[in-house]
Amino acid sequence: MRLDGKVALITGAASGIGRESAILFAREGARVVCVDLDAKGLDATLGLIPEGGEAIAVAADVAHAADCQRMVTAAEKHFGALHVLFNNAGIMDSRDDDAVTTEEAVFDRTFAVNVKGVFLGCKFGIPALRRSGGGSIINTASFVAVLGAATPQLAYTASKGAVLALSRELAVIHAREGIRVNALCPGPLRTELLMKFLNTEEKRQRRLRHVPMGRFGEAAEMARAALWLASDDSSFTTGSTFMVDGGITAAYVTPE
C-alpha cells in the first residue's frame, strides 16, 4: 500500500477528482480527511470508502480562514498528524467570460476559492506538515495555467496561473524542510465542473479537437496521478508543473 501510515487531507472531496482521490488514497492505506462545502456529497464519498478504510468528513469553505484552520485541526485531532495536503477544491463560474463581460463578483469569488483557498490550506497545513516531519502538498491547477483559450473563462484561467506560480514558490521555500509541493494540471475532464461549462455537444467537440487523445480525461485518472505525487514514489519531485492532460499542452496540430 503506497500511503500506509499517512494522513491525507483532500479538499473538494464531495465530487470529481477529490472524491476519486479520497477513495483511492484510502484503498492505499491513508487515513483521509474529506473536506467540501457540500455536506451531502461528503456523506456520499464516505459511503464509497472501501471497507477497512478510514475517513472523516469536514464541511468547510476553503475561502474562509477559520474553516481551513478547523479542517487541519480535525486531521491532527482524529488521526494524530498530517502528511498529505491536497488543495483541490475549485470553481468555474458559468458567467466567467472575457474581461469586458465578466462581473467583478465572479472574478472575486473565483479567486477567493481557487487561489485564496490554496493559500489558506497551506497557511494552516504547512505547520501541521512540519509537526509530522514533512510531507507532500498537491495543488490542483489546470492546463489553462499554461495555455490560453478562445472560449473565454478569464477569471478561472488567471486563478489557475496563480495556483501554478504559488506552488512553484512554495516548493522552493519549503524544499529543505522535507515538504514537497507540486501543481497537478489536469486537462479537460468529463466531470460536472467542465460539462456544466461546455454545456452543448458543439462546445464539447470544439474542445476535444485540441486534445491529441481525442477524449476527455476521467477524475479517476487524476486521482492516480495525485497518488503518485502524494506517495514517496515521487520523493525527488517538487515544484513541478505536473501535466496530466491527454497531450493537450504538447499539441500544435492534433491528429485528424
Which of 121, 135, 188, 246 is in the footprint of ligand NAD by CB under 6 A?
A: 188
Q: Cell 476521467, residue? A: 218
CB closer to ligand NAD out of 45 and 136: 45
Q: In what helix (H) or strand (E) does residue 190 lie, and over which residues does it extend? A: none
Supply φ then ψ for residue 26, to 5 degrees: -65, -40
191 in contact with ligand NAD (CB under 6 A): yes
CB closer to ligand NAD out of 79 and 86: 86
CB closer to ligand NAD out of 61 and 97: 61
| Annotated catalytic residue, options 79, 124, 156, 197 | 156
In this structure, how many other beta carbons lie within 10 angstroms of the beta carbon of residue 156? 25
Tell me how many residues contact ligand NAD (CB under 6 A): 30
Q: What is the DSSP letter of 116?
A: I
113 in contact with ligand NAD (CB under 6 A): yes
16 in contact with ligand NAD (CB under 6 A): yes
The one segment of 23-31, 47-55, 61-69, 167-175 that binds ligand NAD by CB under 6 A: 61-69
CB closer to ligand NAD out of 132 and 248: 248
**156 tagged catalytic:** yes
The one segment of 2-10, 58-66, 172-180, 247-255 that binds ligand NAD by CB under 6 A: 58-66
CA atoms within 13 A on the CB side of 111: 12
What gap in Å lies between CA 90 and CA 92, rounded to an integer? 7
Instruction: Please enumerate, as own/partner, the contacts of 141-149 that have beta carbons within 8 Å and a separation of 24 or more.
Output: 141/167, 141/183, 141/184, 141/185, 141/241, 142/185, 142/186, 143/185, 143/186, 143/187, 143/188, 143/243, 143/245, 143/248, 143/249, 145/183, 145/185, 145/241, 146/185, 146/241, 146/249, 147/248, 147/249
Smallest gap from Cβ 180 to ligand NAD, in A, equals 19
CB closer to ligand NAD out of 39 and 172: 39
Count of H-run helices and E-run strands, the chain: 9, 7
The one segment of 129-137, 147-155, 170-178, 189-197 that binds ligand NAD by CB under 6 A: 189-197
Which of 24, 115, 171, 189 is in the footprint of ligand NAD by CB under 6 A?
A: 189
Residues lying near ligand NAD in the complex (CB under 6 A) are found at: 11-12, 14-18, 36-38, 41, 61-63, 88-91, 113, 117, 140, 142, 186, 188-189, 191-194, 219
